[in-house]
Amino acid sequence: MTNPAATPSSRQKLHAVRVLRDRIFVTGFVLAVVIGILGLAALLFDVLIDGLPFLNWHFLTSYASRKPLDSGILAPLAGTVWIVVMTALFTVPIGVGTAIYLEEFASKSRFNRLIELNIANLAGVPSVIYGLLGLAVFVQFLFNGSRNLTAGALTMTLLVLPIVVIASQEAIKAVPSSYRDAAYAMGANRWQVVKAVVLPQALPGMMSGIILALSRAIGESAPILIISSLVWVTFVPASPDSKFTVLPLQIFTWISQPQHAFRGIAAAGIIVLLIVLLSMNGIAIWIRSRYQTRPEQ
């Protein structure tokens, strides 16, 4: 490393400084990653240490109680299952339908560009705003003040719809156009092409998007909190017009209790919530790796 133009000593000193600066900053960059991972680890340990002692069969099969040690998670667990299933029933046809329309049927007109722009904006609307929408439109207008499961599921549907639409659009875009051309060449019309060629090919991609959207619906508490308000639900909802609570909302209720013992119960609830989410994400990843066949170009 000699440069005849500069005196060797100053040249080497400058080089040493630059290398040192590189070393110092790479340490900083690594530290950023490490802090992120440590934060995640601290969060998980915090929850596990607080919650594991309370996690037992009694906790999973009992209703909420004024006494921390008697408290259980059955009602919110059932409420979450109701909300997820109903949200899926509403979201899948609407979300997938919107994506099919935008990708396969719509011309690139100004109106359709408006729909796409609108979906991008909806994805950024705070969840609490969806809660206000659901409160005014579903609870007060549609159900006359009844804070029921259907109102909650419809609100969640509007909240996760952009995620499903965008993921389904990506899945449809990934289907090679040669597949469509082949079907068209056989005389198929647009809907037949979608039904027989595009949908089967795009289904795995759509499925993982739908599952991710539903796990968002499971973890979201702000809109449900506005829709259902704070209720001690001590029953398993029996029908879509029943009152309800969900896991994150029950966890929030426990965190808000003044008695310190409820903290451990809240942490146990968080463990259950994280296990549900983890298994859903696992299924999404499995579907993606199992069915995602790269079409040969």
Residues 22-51 binding another protein (CB under 8 A) are 22, 25-26, 28-33, 35-37, 39-40, 42-43, 46-47, 50
**Interface pick for another protein out of 52, 120, 182, 186 (rule CB under 8 A):** 120
- Under 8 Å CB-to-CB from 151, ≥6 apart: which residues? 134, 138, 139, 142, 143, 227
**Binding span for another protein by CB under 8 A among 76-84, 121-129, 168-176, 289-297:** 121-129
**Binding span for another protein by CB under 8 A among 78-86, 173-181, 200-208, 266-274:** 266-274
Tell me the site size for another protein, rule CB under 8 A.
Answer: 85
Q: Is 234 in the site for another protein (CB under 8 A)?
A: no
Nearest CB to another protein, comparing residues 30 and 238? 30
Alpha-carbon span 245 to 201, nearest angstrom: 37
Interaction with another protein in 74-113: which residues (CB under 8 A)? 93-95, 97-98, 100-102, 105-106
Angstrom CA distances, 159 to 85, 100, 121, 125, stand at 15, 19, 12, 9
Q: Is 68 in the site for another protein (CB under 8 A)?
A: no
Direct distance between the N- and C-terminal alpha carbons of the chain, in angstroms, rounded to an integer: 48
Write each residue from 238 to 257 as x if it is in contact with another protein (CB under 8 A), else as -, in one continuous string.
----------x--xx--xx-
Nearest CB to another protein, comparing residues 153 and 266? 266
Interaction with another protein in 161-190: which residues (CB under 8 A)? 161-162, 165, 189-190
**Interface pick for another protein out of 52, 60, 85, 125 (rule CB under 8 A):** 125
**How many other CB atoms are there within 10 angstroms of residue 209's CB atom?**
26
Q: Is 14 in the site for another protein (CB under 8 A)?
A: no
Q: Is 270 in the site for another protein (CB under 8 A)?
A: yes
**Interface pick for another protein out of 74, 142, 203, 222 (rule CB under 8 A):** 222
Interaction with another protein in 187-206: which residues (CB under 8 A)? 189-192
Q: How far is the CB of 61 from another protein (least distance, A)?
A: 22
